[in-house]
Chains A and B, each alone.
Chain A
Amino acid sequence: MRKNAHKENIIFEKNRKNNLISFSVIDPLNVIEDIEKIKENRENVYFFESGNKADFLYKRSCVNDLSFNYFQIYNKKIALCLNEISKEIKQFSKQSDTNTEKTHYYISSEYEEEFLEDFWYDTGGISSPSYSGYWFLKTNNKASITVNEVKYDVGEGSLAVFEAASKTLFSGIESGISFNVSTLSKIEGQYPQKWMPLILV
C-alpha cells in the first residue's frame, strides 16, 4: 500500500502547468555594490561595566537574514525591478484566471552567489498562483536559463518570472536575486517580515 507521500507526488504532477514565463531587462546599476555594502556593514557593540571605558563585546551585522528582503534595499533599480515583477504577476493572474481582488500576493527574496551547473533546481510552491524568478546581476557572455526544457539566453539585468516548481537549469550565472511570489494562505510558518505584500500595479 502506498501512502501519503506517493499521493502528494501524484497531486504535484497533476497540478503543475508551468507554462507562464516572462522575460524583461532591468539594468542592475550599483545593485551588487549596495548588497555587498549592506551585508558587510558591521556595528561595534560595547558595554560600559565600570571604570572609564566601555569594553568591546562583539561586531554585529545590520542585516538579519531571517527577515531580510532584498527588495527593501534603497536602490532605484531594485524598486524598478519590483515594479516590473508586479506587472508580470498581474499579467499572469489574468492568464490563469486568478481573482486579484481576493488573492493577496507576498514576495520574498534571497541573494544567490551559487548557481550549480551539474544540478537542476526548482522552487517551493506548486504552479500558479505561486511564482518564482531570478534577476541576474552578474553573468558571463554565454549565460542561459533553461525552464522546463526550453533554453533562454540571458545577460546582466535579465529578469525571469515563471510559475513555481518549474525545472530550472543555469549556465554562466554568477550572482542574482532569487524571489518567490506566493499567496497569504501559503506562507504560514514563514519568519516574520521575510515576506512583504506585493501590490499589483
Chain B
Amino acid sequence: MSTLEIDAQTQTGPPRGAAQAAPRVHHRFGDPAFRVVTLVSGLTVAIAMFTLAGVLIYNSWTAISELGLSFLTTVAWSPSSGSYGALAALAGTALTTLVAMVIAVPLALVIALLLTELVPPGMARVLGTAVEMLAAIPSIIFGMWGLFVLVPFMQETVAPAVTESWLGQLPLLRPGETFQGGGFSILTAGLVLAVMILPFITAFSRDVLLMVPRVTKEAGYGMGSTTWEVLRKISLRYALSGVVGATFIGLGRALGETMAVAYLVGGDFLTVPKSLFDPGTTVASLIALQFNEATTKLDVSALIYMGLILFAVTMVFQVLAQIWLRRARRTTGGRA
C-alpha cells in the first residue's frame, strides 16, 4: 500500500473497492465511533438542558400554581407571611446587567482591536495574558475587592459628587427613597460585573478578530482605506458573529453572577430601584442569599421559580441573538 493510494482514497471520499480493505479498518471503526461519541456528547448537553428545565418546572410547580404569573409583577419577599414576588429582583438584574454591558462591551471591543490590530505582537501578548488572567480570578475575590475598595469609594466620593451636582437630577441617577449613600448599590454591583465579564468578551473577540484574513485587510488598505475604515468595515464586520457570541457569553455571566453581586448590591428585596445609586437585589443573588434558610415547601419552590425565570430569560436572549445574527448575516452577504 503506497502513500499515494491512501492519499487518493481520502481525497475521493469513502473507498468503494474490496482491494483497499486494509486502511479501511480504521475508517470503519474510527468514523462510526467518532460519530457515536460526538452524538452522545451532543445529546448529553441537550438532555442536561431539558432535564434542567424539567426539574426547575417540576420543583417550582408549588409556587407557580400558588403564586401564578403575578409573581413576576409583585414586589415582596417575606417567607414568614408567605408572600413572594420577583419584580424587584428582575429589575435589579436588568439594571446591574445593563450597567455591566454598557461599560464592558465597548471597552472589550476596543481592547480586542488594540490587541489584534494596533500594538506590536510582543506587547499584545503581554496585554492579552493580563486580560486572560483577569478571567481566572474567582468571583468571590471580585466581591471582596468591591466590598473593601469600591464600596467606600462609591459611598464617599462618587455618589456625593454625582448626586449633589446637576447629574443627580437625571433619571436613574437621582437618588430614590431607599438611597443609602450609594456604596452598596446597583451601580457598584454593575461596575464589578463589568470588570468580571470584560476579560471574557475581550478574549473571545480577540480570537475572532485574529481570524480575519490578512489578505482582506490588506486589500482594504490597498484601496486607500484608513485604519479606522479597515477596522470598522472589514475586521468588525467579518468578526461580527463571533463578537456577538462573545457579548452573549458576557451577558450570560452578568445575568447569573451570584457571589460578587450578593456582597455588593445591598440586599434590598423589597424595592424596585429607581436609581443606580439605590440598593437592590438580583435574581441570582437573592436565590443564593435565601436558599440556605428556606424551610417551607413554598419557600424553596418560590426560589426555584426564580431560577426558572432566570433560565427562561437567558434562553430568550440566546434565541434573540440567533435571530439577530441570522438577519445580520443576510445583510452583510453571508460572511458574518
Partners in one complex: no
